[in-house]
Amino acid sequence: MNNRPLLLDCDTGIDDALALTYLLNCDTDLVGISTVSGNTSAQQASANTLALLALAGRPGIPVAVGEHDPRTGAYRGGAPHVHGGNGVGDVSLPGAGTPSDETGPEMLLRLSRVHAGELDVVAIGPLTNIARALDQDPALPQRIHRLIIMGGAVWVPGNTTDHAEANIYNDAAAAAQVLTAGFDVTLVPLDVTLQHTFTDDDAALLEDSGHPLHLALGTMLRRYIDFYESVDGVRAAPLHDPLAAAIATGEVAITAARSVAIQVLAEDTEDRGRTMAADGRPQVQVVTGASADADAAIRARLLSTSRHQGVTQ
Give the catalytic positions in this structure.
11, 240
Q: Which residues does 312 contact at the CB level (< 8 Å), separation at least 6?
A: 305
Q: How many CB atoms lie within 10 A of CB 139?
A: 9
Please give the C-alpha separations between residue 38 and each of 123, 132, 170, in angstroms, as whole numbers: 12, 15, 6
Q: How far is it, in rounded angstroms, from Cα 21 to Cα 214?
A: 9
CA–CA separation, 129 and 131 (whole Å): 5
Half-sphere exposure of 8 (CA within 13 A, CB side): 31
- Nearest-CA neighbor of 81 among 135, 17, 13? 13
- Strand boundaries in 222-268, DSSP class E: 236-238, 254-264
Beta strand pairing status for 275-278 and 284-290?
unpaired
CA pair distance 159, 259, nearest whole angstrom: 23
Residue type, 189: P
Q: What is the SS3 assignment for 39? A: coil
Angstrom distance (rounded) from CA 61 to CA 84: 25
